Structure 1
Amino acid sequence: MNEFVVEEFSKMLSRIAKIPLVSSHPEVYEPCDDSFALVDALLADRTNMLQQKPSICMEIGCGSGYVITSLAVMLGDEGFVPYYIATDINPHAIRVTRETMDAHGVYAELVNTDITSGLEKRLARSVDVLVVNPPYVPTPEDEVGFEGITSAWAGGENGRSVIDKILPAANNLLSEKGWLYMVTLTANKPSEICLEMRKKGYASRIILQRSTEEESLHIIKFWRDSDSHLELKNLSYWSKLVGN
């Protein structure tokens, strides 16, 4: 990269680094290692996103607004203006996200809802970039769906209760060229998640892996790929044939 590009990129990174300091609330999950890992993964894939020129970018579970704001900042001033939309079941998160975005001069439609409830028909097959840092921590099932900050991390058995609801919603929302970026934990069994999405016709790739003192994180990128679905069908066919 030339000196001008390096300087501009450094300025963008500086702006993103300051986002967590803007607003907070005791019932809203503040940016942590998983949030930072997701934004780092998006930054690493930024060139591809710029080439894709997404029309609609969406976050499910916006929390503090760190991720959706970072995405809007990193895609800003590039000759196209995506429409940003973010959801969260926690009304306090909606307020904090609005304050975070306002402080950085970016805008998103913010919807207080559970995952994508009420938006399925309107956004069906139209989202080009979908980002999700889901509640992935393994917890008792009765902790899932609580209001407030618990909703940001309680994931039920294997941390999969909310993830397994998000995947079919993502399948409904993603456009033909759409990409899903999702944070997972080793305990969530990422290989099983990739297999489930493969059955729906998606290819996948771990674009970032990061270990912290408490957990091992994987950022997985999914995209529609008819060949993946065909390969799975062929594998199933040959498995049955060999079994017979």
Structure 2
Amino acid sequence: MIPTPDLSHLRKADYERIYEPAEDTFILLDALEQDAESLRASAPRVCLEIGSGSGCVSTFLGALLGSSGALYLCTDINPHAARCTRLTGSQNKISLDPLIGSLAAPLRHRLTRAVDVLIFNPPYVPTEEDEAAGAQVDAGITGAWAGGARGMLVTDALLEQVETLLSPHGRFYLVAVRQNDIPAIEARMRDRHGLDSAVVLQRRAGGEHLFILRIARRPPV
């Protein structure tokens, strides 16, 4: 079992500015660990986490893959999150490369068909559209959870980029809740982008029903 990364360097003041790892984070870690054997076998070279927050997830992935020589890229709109991500990597002896920016924007063209492991724990809580849009502009902690109508404002934008980003053997891990309409996400990725989707883990946490979707290219016939 891979231990949860050491986050003892982060303080209460940090969690007032970034998202503190919670049940949605931990189910994502469990899904990655569940796929550990196949992830290692695929020998990822480029890993990209969107919205890295504390850096917990990318640090865990780095520990899971071991000395693979992979590049761990992390983006976040929140400058404090980028700083915390770098510190978490250092605290756990995992080299992370955080960048400040929305989704894959800082590297999108350089990463065309190049991302082997793509990870996103998005702002999935349904809110008013104006609140979610404003949160993205403000680039603060509210941007980590305010998701707009159906909680899909930011996720919708990334789903349109996934097919372009994934390498031939790439896989995308997405955190979602029931209100996000999981069947609609699966149908969209299949019918519009030709990608296969599967719910690999689900769990109830308080009032939320959390899902981890794994999205990947269809194997050649």
For this structure pair, what is the TM-score category when the shorter chain's length is used for normalisation?
A: over 0.9
1:180-195 to 2 correspondence within 5 Å?
180-195=172-187
CA distance in 2, matches of 1:102, 1:20: 11
Find the counterpart in structure 2 of residue 211 from structure 1: 204
Question: Does the aligned pair in 1 maintain the 2:18–2:54 contact within 8 Å?
Answer: yes
1:73 aligns with 2:63: yes
Find the counterpart in structure 1 of residue 29 from structure 2: 39
1:226: Cα distance to partner? 6.4
- The RMSD of aligned alpha carbons is 1.4
Give the ranges of 4+ consecutive aligned residues of structure 1 lying more than 6 Å apart after TM superposition. Answer: none
Find the counterpart in structure 2 of residue 240 from structure 1: none
1:147: Cα distance to partner? 2.1
SS across alignment from 2:30: helix
CA distance in 2, matches of 1:86, 1:19: 18
Find the counterpart in structure 2 of residue 173 from structure 1: 165
Find the counterpart in structure 1 of residue 20 from structure 2: 30
CA distance in 2, matches of 1:137, 1:50: 32
How many residue pairs end up in the alignment? 213
SS across alignment from 2:93: coil
Aligned residue identity for 1:21: S
1:143: Cα distance to partner? 1.4
SS across alignment from 2:110: helix
1:92-111 to 2 correspondence within 5 Å?
92-111=80-99
CA distance in 1, matches of 2:130, 2:9: 33
Residues 143-185 of structure 1, C-alpha deviations (whole Å, 9 max, x = no match): 1213210000010000011110011122221111100000000
Question: Does the aligned pair in 1 maintain the 2:202–2:212 contact within 8 Å?
Answer: yes
CA distance in 2, matches of 1:156, 1:212: 21
Larger radius of gyration: 1
Question: Does the aligned pair in 1 maintain the 2:76–2:100 contact within 8 Å?
Answer: yes
Find the counterpart in structure 2 of residue 19 from structure 1: 6
Aligned residue identity for 1:116: A
Residues 189-236 of structure 1, C-alpha deviations (whole Å, 9 max, x = no match): 011011110021111111100001120000000111167xx9xxxxxx
Distance 1:44-1:226 versus aligned 2 partners, 3 A rule: closer
Residues 98-145 of structure 1, C-alpha deviations (whole Å, 9 max, x = no match): 111100011121110011113111111000000110010000011121
CA distance in 2, matches of 1:34, 1:55: 26
Find the counterpart in structure 2 of residue 132 from structure 1: 120
Find the counterpart in structure 1 of residue 130 from structure 2: 142
Aligned residue identity for 1:201: G
Whose helix fraction is larger, Structure 1's or Structure 2's? 1
Aligned residue identity for 2:148: G
Question: Does the aligned pair in 1 maintain the 2:203–2:211 contact within 8 Å?
Answer: yes
Among candidates 80, 103, 120, match of residue 115 of structure 1:
103
Determine what percentage of the aligned residue pairs are the same residue: 39
Instruction: Tell which deviates more after alignment, 20-29 or 196-205.
Output: 20-29
**How does the TM-score come out when normalised to structure 1?**
0.84
Find the counterpart in structure 2 of residue 225 from structure 1: 218
CA distance in 1, matches of 2:17, 2:208: 22
**How does the TM-score come out when normalised to structure 2?**
0.92
Question: Does the aligned pair in 2 maintain the 1:138–1:160 contact within 8 Å?
Answer: yes
SS across alignment from 2:160: helix
